[in-house]
Amino acid sequence: MKAFVDGAAVGLDAAAAAAARVLGAARLPVIAGLGTDVAGARAAIALAEKLRGAYDHLASDVLLRDIDVMRQAGRILTTANDVRLRADCVLFVGPKLFESLPDLPKHLDLAAPPRLSVTKTRKVFWLGASRGEAAQVGATEIAASPSSLPQVLANLRAAVLERKTRANGAQKLVELAAQLKAAHFGVVVCAADSLDRLTIEMLHGLVVDLNEKTRFTTLALGPGGNALGVVQTSGWMTGFPVRTGFGRGYPEHDIWRFDANRMVEADEADAALWISAYRAEAPQWNRRIPLVALAKPQTRFAYPPRVKIEVGTPGEDHDAIEFSQEIATFALARAKNASNAPRVADVIGRIEQNLAKGSEAC
Amino acid sequence: MLIRLAGGRIVDPANKQDGIGDLWIRGDRIVAPPQGETPDAVYDVSDKIVMAGAIDIHSHIASGGVNTARLLLPENHRAHVPRPAATPLSTAGWSTFETGCRYAMMGFTTVIEPAVPAHQALHSHLELADVPIIDKGILAVLGDDDFLLSLLRGGGNRTAIADYVGSMLAATKAMGLKAVNPGGAIAFQNNARTFDLDDVVPFYGVTSRQIFQAMQQAAIDLGIPHPLHLHINNLGVPGNVDTAIKTIAAAEGKRIHLAHIQFYSYGKEGKRGFSSAAPRLAEAINAAPKAITVDIGQVMFRQTVTVSLDIIRQWSARPMAKPRKSVMYDGAANGAGIVPYLYKSDNFYNAVQWACGLELFLLLDDPMRSLFTTDHPNGAPYTTYPDLFALIMSRDTRAKWLADLPKEAVEMTTLPSLTREYSFSEIAAMTRVAPAKLLGLKDRGHLSPGALADVAVYNDDLDRAQMFRFAHLVFKDGDLVVRDGRVTHYRYGRTLTVQPRYGSGIDRRLAGYYDDLYGVSRNLFNVPPAEALGRDYAFEEVACGR
Ligand SMILES: [Zn+2]
């Protein structure tokens, strides 16, 4: 692993000192990406406060869709283990649900009956799967294209409420509605990644309606790379999710104002710290503001960072606490292939030390 | 470092002391007045009240549910004050950092998070690692977990149950055991909408009574200092005083702690079918064996959010949510519900609830058995404690509040007739001595030589709320952390745990059980060693009796 200042290889200390100069000189720095473990998120949010900057996550668009539905309408949620052990009726909604969680189908074990249920059978449906996906979990497929999905769901909800619809394929939806209502403990499985906000809210409404007579709940799959863990960490540290800023000396949350891409393009942020320790992902913005990057070696940047520090992958190069969607909470991921590649939290620690030195000097 | 607190009124009921004197601190401990030594620092605390640091046994400060509440309600905790340089994030509304600071400012030095689902313990420990100043601990919740219920279905082998509970306490690094409407979460997954003491959990065929009694016995058998901490069935339901009284009887005189009993002090009298049964409940508790302790769970009038693992109760509260949104969680081995709520003084039901809590405070005769809580944030945020101290210390203050309440609500209670006023000594017993005893913390809650130097010094302000809101001085482990109601700097406390001895054969059995049932290693759920949690997280073991 290596560190670079203006493209030239340097030691980690020199890189941290240069990073501190870039960030310390900024009027409004933004910490973006935030693809890191809990320790990295803690360090980054604390640094954002110290710098009176803002922070955002690379998956914010997806994360905030779920969060927005929750804080507008609420949610009824469950865990993968409850689907595995208790659900006698599972409805998958939307395409590509397992893309960031390839081990999930095996974990859900839907071919077996739910072991902790009074019901000994399990019915599985998939509304709007992409090709070949439904077969992975032995689901009965009900076709819907991504663009028709909102209308199909509206029709399904109407069928659950026994309102008449004359839509195409209405009979299929009436049958599906009957199956959902006959469930003992049913679960809708969906991911904000493949649904828009209104569709997620409609699904929540469907689940609420089904609970009038029986039990139904939701498994909401999130993006990988500890994105959910970063939101949780942000929650207890500041009270708010990502897209939070400290310009006034206390945290303010605003999904528009503290959108990192917007802040850069609108000339509000004048330096950035980009963090992506899980994947070789670069910032999306075009304006060339001074950039410090804690990134994977293979990352291809649109323009060269002033400071680039290659960091290890949490759970690969070093032990890391991350949010595990398998168990729906935090867990320690032991390093699969321990190396001395630096951890995001340690690099930020060094940057902070240099900031402190800088402030003593002046 | 030798410190002398000179000339204060020392209120230390554990030592039957209430009088003027000096208190000496060396390092992190209280010491006897040393002979012929000059202190490094002297604080003139004449005209001040000196007490041990307060201990909160039941405050939801750190969990997945609490964090969901934060994310659900951004509108309720906007910050407005820039933080001072030495204390990062201390003014972030409802952050873990703010929690440590605001508790310290009130003279609280130990706080227990009482509702941690056993499978989500790491989440709570991560949050607690970011709570500065105070010491803390968690209670692990069992009672809706398949392993325990299967043991009970199979006849309830007492040794196996104790071993299992011991193993789970060790895995979660908890300091005690809690049950929340035990069996209710599974019942709700099976479409039950109410769940009573003798209702049967579907699939398992055991009753809530059987579950709590088995857990109560396990805590006793393991010798853990804190007895089973029980959240009774039928919380908030009119007429539920009968459930509470049945539960007291079902405890069979053995050690148990009954949480936030205000929420179980309701009758069904009057034209609205809702009345205070607090006098009846207080009478039952006063007459019960000393092994039974309670905390109050006082309601105060303001916006709050209820965070509870009692999903049956939270589901039924959904229509009353204000603002109108809530999160329900059918979680692995536990449910949870987060429902925002606005307690209003002009609301008949809320006014009765408020009065019920105060009646209990005033009618329970032993401050060592009736502990001070608001079930933060469920009855009210802990930040309302100072107002509550003022209410129980002054009947004039109560009269002023009562004058603003709906008459028909006041008529459903006996509160106006109660004249009792708590003394400083009783306040200290209720918030220092009793919680330390209940948690098995021998070096806290009192000011004897050798005790931990957790000390709160208050101005003897006639405005008792003001007095308790901003302590004059607070020492944590002998370190002055609050001066004139402001936190001067951060330090990080320890997390209290128990390490009960249990037959380790259960761990082998559980390893196979998790692999098979959940398809993941049990290790994934275990709280890793402190060094993995960051910020020099540290555990402190509380001795078990076995
Ligand atoms: Zn509680």
**Which chain A residues touch B329 with a CB distance below 8 Å?**
76-78
Contact A74 B73 (CB under 8 A): no
In Å, how far are B67, B298, B384 from B60, measured between CA atoms?
10, 14, 14
Reference A188, options A269, A76, A293; nearest CA is: A76
pLDDT digits (tens, 9 = 90+) for B154-205: 998 999 999 999 999 999 999 999 999 999 999 999 999 999 999 999 999 9
Question: Is residue A167 domain-shared with residue A236, that is, in the same domain?
Answer: no
**Which chain B residues touch A46 with a CB distance below 8 Å?**
88-89
| CA A201/CA A217 separation, integer angstroms | 13
Contact A28, A263 (CB under 8 A): yes
Residue B331 is predicted with a pLDDT of: 84
Residue B546 is predicted with a pLDDT of: 57
- One digit per residue, the tens of pLDDT, for chain B of length 546 reads 999 999 999 999 999 999 999 999 999 999 999 999 999 999 999 999 999 999 999 999 999 999 999 999 998 888 778 888 788 988 888 999 999 999 999 999 999 999 999 999 999 999 999 999 999 999 999 999 999 999 999 998 999 999 999 999 999 999 999 999 999 999 999 999 999 999 999 999 999 999 999 999 999 999 999 999 999 999 999 999 999 999 999 999 999 999 999 999 999 999 999 999 999 999 999 999 999 999 999 999 999 999 999 999 999 999 999 999 999 999 867 899 999 999 999 999 999 999 999 999 999 999 999 999 999 999 999 999 999 999 999 999 999 999 999 999 999 999 999 999 999 999 999 999 999 999 999 999 999 999 999 999 999 999 999 999 999 999 999 999 999 999 999 999 999 999 999 999 999 999 999 999 999 999 999 999 999 998 889 999 999 985
A354 min Cα distance to partner chain B (Å): 17
Residue A362 is predicted with a pLDDT of: 40
How is chain B split into domains, by residue range? 57-435
Q: Which of A203, A221, A239 is where one domain is finished?
A: A221
Reference B226, options B182, B258, B256, B249; nearest CA is: B256
Crossing angle between the packed helical segments B146-153 and B208-222, to the nearest 10 degrees: 100
Through-space distance between the first and last CA atoms of chain A, rounded to whole angstroms: 33
Question: Is residue A195 domain-shared with residue A269, that is, in the same domain?
Answer: no
**Which chain A residues touch B517 with a CB distance below 8 Å?**
85, 115
CATH of the domain at A173: 3.40.228.10
Q: How many CA atoms lie within 13 A of B132 on its CB side?
A: 21
Collapse the DSSP code of B143 into the 3-class scheme (helix H, G, I; strand E, B; otherwise coil) and give the result. Answer: coil
Question: Is residue A52 domain-shared with residue A8, that is, in the same domain?
Answer: yes
Question: Is residue A193 domain-shared with residue A69, that is, in the same domain?
Answer: yes
What does residue B395 show for φ and ψ, rounded to 5 degrees? -75, -25
Question: Is residue A107 domain-shared with residue A153, that is, in the same domain?
Answer: yes
Name the residue among A82, A240, A331 with its Cβ closest to that of B524: A331
Question: Is residue A199 domain-shared with residue A251, that is, in the same domain?
Answer: no
Name the residue among A38, A76, A328 with its Cβ closest to that of B328: A76
pLDDT digits (tens, 9 = 90+) for A221-248: 999 999 999 999 999 999 999 999 999 9
Name the residue among B72, B82, B519 with its Cβ closest to that of A248: B82
Residue B541 neighbours by CB distance under 10 Å: 11
| CA A221/CA A206 separation, integer angstroms | 17
Contact B321, B131 (CB under 8 A): no
Contact B141, B178 (CB under 8 A): yes
Contact A39 B94 (CB under 8 A): no
Interchain CB contact of A329 with B (< 8 Å) = yes
**Which chain B residues touch A238 with a CB distance below 8 Å?**
89, 92, 95
| Residue B115 CA, ligand 1 centroid: distance in Å | 7
Question: Is residue A266 domain-shared with residue A191, that is, in the same domain?
Answer: no
Name the residue among A70, A251, A345 with its Cβ closest to that of B92: A251
Which strands form A185-191's sheet, in the order they lie side by side? A140-142, A123-127, A89-93, A185-191, A215-221, A75-78, B327-331, B334-342, B303-308
Contacts of B6 (CB under 8 A, 6+ apart): B22, B42, B43, B44, B45, B46
Nearest chain A residue to B81 by CA: give it: A250
Reference B130, options A238, A253, A242; nearest CA is: A238
Query: Considering its fold, how many domains does chain A have in total?
Result: 2
Tokens encoding A161: 């409420």
Contact B534 A237 (CB under 8 A): no
Task: Kindly indicate whether the domain formed by B57-435 is annotated with CATH number 3.40.50.
Answer: no
Nearest chain B residue to A46 by CA: give it: B88
B341 min Cα distance to partner chain A (Å): 14
**Residue-wise over B302-329: b if at least 16 C-beta within 10 A, else e?**
bbbbbbbbbbbbbbbbbeebebebbbbb
Collapse the DSSP code of B147 into the 3-class scheme (helix H, G, I; strand E, B; otherwise coil) and give the result. Answer: helix
Collapse the DSSP code of A190 into the 3-class scheme (helix H, G, I; strand E, B; otherwise coil) and give the result. Answer: strand
Contact B473, B49 (CB under 8 A): no
Question: Is residue A30 domain-shared with residue A98, that is, in the same domain?
Answer: no
The DSSP 8-state label assigned to residue B248 in this structure reads: H
| Residue A155 CA, ligand 1 centroid: distance in Å | 41
Sign, CA torsion B205/A328/B535/A45: negative
Those residues whose beta carbon sits under 5 angstroms from the ion ligand 1 are B 375
Residue A1 is predicted with a pLDDT of: 64
| CA A233/CA B166 separation, integer angstroms | 30
| CA B375/CA B261 separation, integer angstroms | 10
A330 min Cα distance to partner chain B (Å): 6
- The domain in which residue A187 lies consists of 64-221
**Which chain B residues touch A331 with a CB distance below 8 Å?**
122, 524-525
**Which chain B residues touch A116 with a CB distance below 8 Å?**
146, 203
Name the residue among B70, B120, B330 with its Cβ closest to that of A78: B330
Question: Is residue A170 domain-shared with residue A50, that is, in the same domain?
Answer: no
B54-56 vs A291-295, strand pairing mode: unpaired
What is the DSSP track for B415-467? GGG------HHHHHIIIIIHHHHHHT-TTSSS--TTSB--EEEEE--SSHHHH
Reference B122, options B537, B527, B494; nearest CA is: B527
| CA B229/CA B216 separation, integer angstroms | 8
**Which chain A residues touch B66 with a CB distance below 8 Å?**
236
Tokens encoding B209: 């009574």
- pLDDT more than 90, % of chain B: 95
CA angle centred on B362, ends B357 and B363, rounded to 5°: 95
The DSSP 8-state label assigned to residue B323 in this structure reads: S
**Which chain A residues touch B80 with a CB distance below 8 Å?**
250
Looking at B76-132, which runs of residues are DSSP E strands? 108-117
Contact A68, A229 (CB under 8 A): no
Q: How many CA atoms lie within 13 A of A155 on its CB side?
A: 20
Contact A49 B64 (CB under 8 A): no
Contact A70 B189 (CB under 8 A): no
Contact A224, A278 (CB under 8 A): yes
| Residue B377 CA, ligand 1 centroid: distance in Å | 8
Q: Which of A172, A203, A221 is where one domain is finished?
A: A221
pLDDT beneath 70: ranges in chain A: 1, 168, 358-362
Residue A361 is predicted with a pLDDT of: 41
Name the residue among B74, B120, B331 with its Cβ closest to that of A240: B74
Reference B524, options A226, A326, A103, A37; nearest CA is: A326
Task: With residue A252 as reference, give the H or E element that holds it.
Answer: strand A252-253
B285 min Cα distance to partner chain A (Å): 37
| CA B70/CA B88 separation, integer angstroms | 19
Collapse the DSSP code of A54 into the 3-class scheme (helix H, G, I; strand E, B; otherwise coil) and give the result. Answer: strand
State the SS3 of B327-369. EEEEECCEEEEEEEEECCCCCHHHHHHHHHHHHHHHHCCCCCC
Tokens encoding B276: 């205070």
Contact B42, B454 (CB under 8 A): no
Collapse the DSSP code of A143 into the 3-class scheme (helix H, G, I; strand E, B; otherwise coil) and give the result. Answer: coil
Nearest chain B residue to A187 by CA: give it: B330
Tokens encoding A320: 């890391």
Tokens encoding B211: 């579950």
Contact B95, B422 (CB under 8 A): no
| CA A172/CA B25 separation, integer angstroms | 77
Contact A329 B120 (CB under 8 A): yes
| Residue B122 CA, ligand 1 centroid: distance in Å | 19
CATH of the domain at A235: 3.40.50.740
Contacts of B299 (CB under 8 A, 6+ apart): B262, B343, B350, B353, B354, B356, B357, B374, B379, B380
Name the residue among B89, B519, B534 with its Cβ closest to that of A49: B89
Residue B283 neighbours by CB distance under 10 Å: 14
Q: Which of A221, A248, A273 is where one domain is finished?
A: A221
Collapse the DSSP code of B105 into the 3-class scheme (helix H, G, I; strand E, B; otherwise coil) and give the result. Answer: helix
Reference A293, options A311, A278, A279; nearest CA is: A311
B328 min Cα distance to partner chain A (Å): 5
Per the rule left: phi > 0, alpha: psi between -120 and 50, beta: everything else, B355 is: alpha
Name the residue among A321, A327, A330 with its Cβ closest to that of B520: A327
| Residue B202 CA, ligand 1 centroid: distance in Å | 25
| Residue B371 CA, ligand 1 centroid: distance in Å | 13
Question: Is residue A55 domain-shared with residue A37, that is, in the same domain?
Answer: yes
Tokens encoding B180: 């929340």
Q: Please give the torsion angle defined by the CA atoms of residues B461, B465, B468 and B471, in that order, rounded to the nearest 10 degrees.
A: -60
Contact A250 B518 (CB under 8 A): no
B310 min Cα distance to partner chain A (Å): 14
Question: Is residue A140 domain-shared with residue A210, that is, in the same domain?
Answer: yes
Residue B156 neighbours by CB distance under 10 Å: 16
Contact B72 A250 (CB under 8 A): no
Contact B123 A329 (CB under 8 A): yes
